[in-house]
Structure 1
Amino acid sequence: MKNSNKIYIPLLLGIACALGILLGAKLNFTTSDTLFSGNPKKQKLSRLIDYIDYEYVDDVNTDSIVDITVNKILENLDPHSVYIPSKEYDHVSESMKGDFVGIGVSFHTVGDTIVVIQPLEGGPSEKTGIRGGDRILYADGTRLFGKNISTDSIIGQLKGEEGSKVNLKVFRRGEENLLNFKINRGKVPLKSVDAAYMLTDKLGYVKVNRFSETTYEEFDDALEELKKQGAKEIVLDLRNNPGGYLSEAINIADEFLKDDKLILFTKNKSGSVEKTFAQREGDFENGKVYVLINEGSASASEVVAGALQDNDIGTIVGRRSYGKGLVQREMELGDGSAVRLTIARYYTPTGRSIQKPYGEDNKTYYNDYMRRYRNGELQSADSIHVEDSLRYKTPGGKIVYGGGGIIPDVFVPKDLEAEKEQYMLLLNGGFMGRFIFDLMEQDRDYYNSISQEEFEKQEIINDQVIREFLRYGRDQSPGINIQVKEFKPLLKQYLRAVMAQQLFGTNAFERIKNEGDRIIEKVIQLSKEKT
């Protein structure tokens, strides 16, 4: 009997293992399923979804229930842990990459037709000869005009795999027949450095709009070009820069810091500390740097500002930054969706956390701007509330504070005139852009032929254009009451900047928009005082 047991036990174990493998293949369990299978809390949620799927009286889209559940869970963590549904993942990821594959045009719809605003710099369409004002009517024989054509379907026709060809039929005013363009789809740069130019004979300016995969490379190229033009000092404009990849911010900070200087350190749930130091010889370690920040400068922008301020390098100019000192990691959820989960806090070299307080009410957290507005902080540095317990001292003896944002070394108040605020909304909302496009459509050949040098010499936005803009505003949006008064020169400046952007790109736009900018004027003054 004992011998027979010895025979049957291995046989039974073998059969059980085989059945387990077969059953596992049928059920397609993943590693994470088995990893969490013993956790009652996770089983509870899984069972509830199954009950709704199989037993509930009505058909229910459980995918949407799961999305809502995930969002609710994350809302109870912190304001920056977020869920990215699968349908949004590609778009969100693309925005943080340095390029995308396509034909490279910005466009909007006029009537039922897509019209090119401008070919994107360095993209296939620019190289092939597509111009602003061109109507793209067909792509590989597929019609792209008509009331039932969605923007998504248009983009789907124009995007494709790198190197693939697309044949476009284009209507261009002044041409009798449709024009044919054969374009090889390619990588189109999504630039994060909007502008790089000289403010004075020694002061170079660089505007960074976010920290994407290619930001450091773009910044390094801009820095090299400005040095060739004689830049001995650099203005790094990080205003309204919401952040992005931490590694890119670290690389930029390293350009100004000598080897072995601490850039930041992070601390995770277990208390493990990871320090990041400057590691290489930067291109501007011996130059003067001014970092511009405001209430819209967050995360990676604050890493750069905090690293330089705490190492007594350069001057931080502007207003207190946003106050985001949390580090996220993107984690895939297995169905094309992902979660960006806060995994650590980061600290500036002196040891301060710049994360502003948050609690259960995320609405209060995101409405912090209005609180700053009401308490006068945007107008006076004296209105900035600081905690003495969060007081730190840099190696050079400068006093800095934690607890919510980077407080600049030199404060510059915000323009709060209603007209200026309104103009900025019209500028950033695209309203001015649509007007300028329609204006240029009246004489597209002229505007497409004008050189940047000619543009700069002409009063291209005159009083007649202002009157047309006011009329356009009344016609398009009767609820908008555009006031001119003494701010007509500012309105002309912004309209001129938008036209320059559509004709010559973001560098020309920033250059004109920045004329008379309070913070930039302050930096120019500081630069002259230190000569």
Structure 2
Amino acid sequence: MKGYSKKYLPLLLGLACAGGVILGAKLNFSDSPGLLSANKKKEKLSRLIDYIEYEYVDDVNIDSVVDITVNGILRDLDPHSVYITKEEYNSLSESMQGDFVGIGVSFYNVNDTIAVIQALEGGPSAKAGIQGGDRILYANGTALFNKNISNDSLTYHLKGEENSKVELKVLRKGIPELLKFDIRRGKVPLKSVDAAYMLTETLGYIKVNRFAESTYEEFRDSLLELKKQGATEIALDLRNNPGGYLGEATKMVDEFLEDDKLMLLTRNKKGAMEKTFATEKGIFEQGDIYVLINENSASASEIIAGALQDNDKGLIVGRRSYGKGLVQREMALGDGSAVRLTIARYYTPTGRSIQKPYENGNKEYFNDYLNRYKNGELISADSITVVDSLKYTTPGGRTVYGGGGIIPDIFVPKDTSYEKESLNFILRSPFMGRFIFETLEDNREYYNNLSLEEFRETELADEKMVQDFTSYMARQGYELEVAEYDHLLKQYLKATIAQQLYGSNVFEQIVNDEDPMVEKVIELSRQK
């Protein structure tokens, strides 16, 4: 913290724990009468901060003092009530809107030059003909190369108002002169549906990575397309999905449940209960559903799994979910920052809360994964701890439990071997993407003209590529012993090539090949 000596840090931290609640004095809700009523404790803390700002002997960064105070207050409430800085709020808002305004490229900064990884599907650059490997050298006459420009600055030149024009001059390998593109900036989708394709003749697969403003619309479009392809069953993959907007989740559940089925209950501070029911608009009410979850499936993901399980609709496959049953609302604080405050608890249709305990503090709460690992829960369903007092029964007679996550109907263990876990980290890290980009650059014309059918039939990830990748990782400080996982590494190398050439749908198809949970769902489907 700049602006004041470290020796005064205990004093400032003490302010964070003061008895008053300055946050309440700063909030401004038109729909909350009485929230701003006089409170001497609020005035006390506000006055103390004023004294420090105007009378304290040394200069103090008051913004930092207020941030410490707000964080200290929220930390004592629950693990999911958090303060969001102005910078974080802008980024978060964009990611949850489902789109942003710009030219629509992902890029690396290579030798101080914008090197396009991929023109994003549905964006202006893809429509204009920008390709992976292109170097964007000029934007409206401004040189974007040979300068110490941050990614934020580069983004500034590429983003702009919707429908505004930008003239790009692009260097493409093999073409001596610069290519000129006149692009009109537009909305670029930030997709929350990573993949939608058929696993078998009747079983469709949809993977959702979060619940943003556009998630339900993306999901419904995918569901309709899979129905056209003959899907009478859907595998909905919510693994590692941390949640998002509750409303998007309930609209998705509505597509599977019959009219007037209870989907969700929420209870606020005053005890008021709100119930959400399915409507008549479901387009997959007669189809079967499998929901894939794991220990990182949280919040809105658990709402979907709980609603379907409690209504005896389909099967939940995987491992016990995260256990977040608290509802947050983001509230602006007037200076561009915001607070995400827990305003209610939600309950599944049988009345169970799946919120895991947080009475022992945030550290213990967020270390829950380690506890599950140590007690063997990730590899054996018998190690899952249940509490008889939190036992519930569905209308179909199925026993379910509250108290910490959704327990699946069909358990699939996790491969917890250290080597493979480390390798999985590498496979999903930025290193893999950067290596593949450099590999594609060696023969960009060939790769950019490779059809999807040719790609599927060609063994691109061979032993040489594996050796090149392990050498690349060694230069990054990681020594990989991959002999036992040679096949897995080849699989991810080819999948990442697919990601950069064709997008996430083909990527997921490749990594799902031989995936234990996906294989289990296919097995369950064929047993019917």
Q: Provide structure 1 residue ranges, at least 5 long, that are not aligned to the other structure.
A: 1-28
For residue 175 of structure 1, report the CA deviation from its aligned partner: 1.3
1:374-407 Cα deviation digits (max 9, x unpaired): 1000000000000000000000000000000000
State the shift of 1:34 in Å.
Answer: 10
Letter in structure 1 aligned against 2:494: R
1:36 positional shift? 3.5
Which residue of structure 1 aligns with residue 114 of structure 2? 114
Within 2, Cα distance between the matches of 1:421 and 1:53?
50
**Does 1:273 pair with 2:273?**
yes
Q: What is the CA deviation profile of residues 93-131 of structure 1, one whole-angstrom value per residue up to 9, with x for unaligned ones?
A: 111111100000011111211211000000000001111
How far the C-alpha of 1:357 sits from its partner, in A, is 0.2
Aligned with 1:467: secondary structure? helix
- Shift in CA distance, 64/146, structure 1 to aligned 2, threshold 3 Å: farther
Q: Give the Cα–Cα distance (whole angstroms) in 1 for the partners of residues 288 and 227 of structure 2.
A: 12
* Partner-residue secondary structure (3-state), 1:521: helix
Cα distance between partner residues in 1 of 2:382 and 2:304:
24
Displacement after TM superposition at 1:497 (Å)? 0.4
| 5+ residue gaps, structure 2 | 1-26
Counterpart-to-counterpart distance in 2, 1:380 and 1:422:
21
Task: Kindly report which structure 2 residues correspond to 1:124-273, keeping only aligned pairs within 5 A, or say none.
Answer: 124-273=124-273
Letter in 1 for 2:347: Y
Change in CA separation of 1:315 and 1:34 when aligned onto 2, cut-off 3 Å? closer
Distance in 2 between residues matched to 1:368 and 1:331, nearest whole Å:
28
Q: Output the amino acid matched with 1:299.
A: S
Matches within 5 A, 1:12-161: 36=36, 38-161=38-161
**One-letter amino acid of the counterpart of residue 62, structure 1:** I
1-structure distance, mates of 2:313, 2:199: 21
Look up the equivalent residue of 1:82 and give its one-letter code.
V
Q: Distance in 2 between matches of 1:182 and 1:529?
A: 55
RMSD value over aligned CA atoms? 1.5
1:492 maps to which of 475, 490, 493: 490
1:523 equivalent in alignment to 2:517: no
Task: Give the Cα–Cα distance (whole angstroms) in 1 for the partners of residues 34 and 193 of structure 2.
Answer: 46
Counterpart check, 1:308 vs 2:280: no
Task: Note if contact 1:76-1:360 (Cα within 8 Å) is conserved in structure 2.
Answer: no
For structure 1, which segment, 153-162 or 54-63, has the greater mean C-alpha deviation from structure 2 after superposition? 54-63
Separation of aligned partners in 2, 1:437 and 1:305: 37
1:338 matched to 2:302? The reply is: no
* CA distances 1:507-531 after superposition (whole Å, capped 9, x unpaired): 000000101000000010000000x
Give matches, 1:466-481, under 5 Å: 466-475=466-475, 477-478=476-477, 480-481=478-479
Cα distance, 1:159 vs structure 2:
0.7
- Structure 2: distance between partners of 1:49 and 1:92: 29
Deviation at 1:297, TM superposition (A): 0.2
Residues 116 and 133 in structure 2, CA contact (< 8 A), matched pair in contact too: yes
What CA deviation, in whole Å up to 9, does each residue of 1:254-308 have, x standing for no partner? 0110011000100111111000000123111011100000001000000000000
Letter in 2 for 1:155: T
Query: SS of 1:313's equivalent?
Result: coil
How has the CA–CA distance of structure 1 residues 31 and 260 changed in structure 2, closer, same or farther, with 3 Å as cutoff?
A: closer
The structure number with the bigger radius of gyration is 1
Say which is worse superposed, 417-426 or 308-317, in terms of deviation: 417-426
Q: Does 1:455 align with 2:455?
A: yes
Distance 1:146 1:58 in 2: 43
Write the distance in 2 (CA, Å) between the matches of 1:149 and 1:45: 43
| CA shift for structure 1 position 335 | 1.0
Paired with 1:197 and 1:300, the residues of 2 have a C-alpha distance of 23
Equivalent position of 1:369 in the other structure: 369
Q: Deviations over 1:167-188 (max 9, x none)?
A: 1121111111222111100000
Match for residue 408 of structure 2? Answer: 408
Deviations 1:35-65 (A, max 9, x none): 6462111111211221122111222221121
Q: 2:302 aligned with 1:292, yes or no? A: no
Q: TM-score, normalised by structure 1?
A: 0.92
TM-aligned CA distance change 1:224 to 1:34, over 3 Å = closer
Q: Secondary structure at the match of 2:195?
A: strand
- Confirm or deny: 8 A CA contact 1:328 1:341 kept in the other structure: yes
Contact 1:37 1:43 in 2 (8 A): no
For 1:12, the equivalent position in structure 2 comes to none
- Residues 147-202 of structure 1, C-alpha deviation per residue, up to 9 Å, x if partnerless? 52111111111111100011112111111122211110000001100000000011
Does structure 1 retain, via aligned residues, the 8 Å contact 2:167–2:181?
A: yes
**Residue-pair matches, total:** 500
Given that residues 239 and 296 in structure 1 are in contact (C-alpha distance below 8 angstroms), is that contact kept between their aligned partners in structure 2?
A: yes
CA distance in 2 between counterparts of 1:512 and 1:260 reads 39
- CA shift at 1:146, angstroms? 3.3
**Residue 482 (1) aligns with residue 486 (2):** no
User: What's 2:3 paired with?
Assistant: none
CA contact (8 A) 2:112 2:146 kept: yes
Q: Cα 1:37–1:203, aligned 2, differ >3 Å: closer, same or farther?
A: closer
Q: Is the 8 A contact 1:89 1:337 kept in 2?
A: yes
Secondary structure of 1:461 counterpart: coil
Instruction: Provide the rounded CA distance (Å) in 2 between the counterparts of 1:120 and 1:111.
Output: 22
On the 8 A contact 2:28/2:333 being kept in 1, the answer is no
Provide, for residues 444-483 of structure 1, a one-character-per-residue CA deviation record: whole Å limited to 9, x for no partner: 11110101110000001111111111111112x12x1211
Q: CA deviation at 1:74?
A: 0.4
Secondary structure of the structure 1 residue equivalent to 2:200: coil
Q: Secondary structure at the match of 1:173?
A: coil
2:383 matched residue in structure 1: 383
Letter of the 1:521 counterpart: E
Aligned to 1:7: none
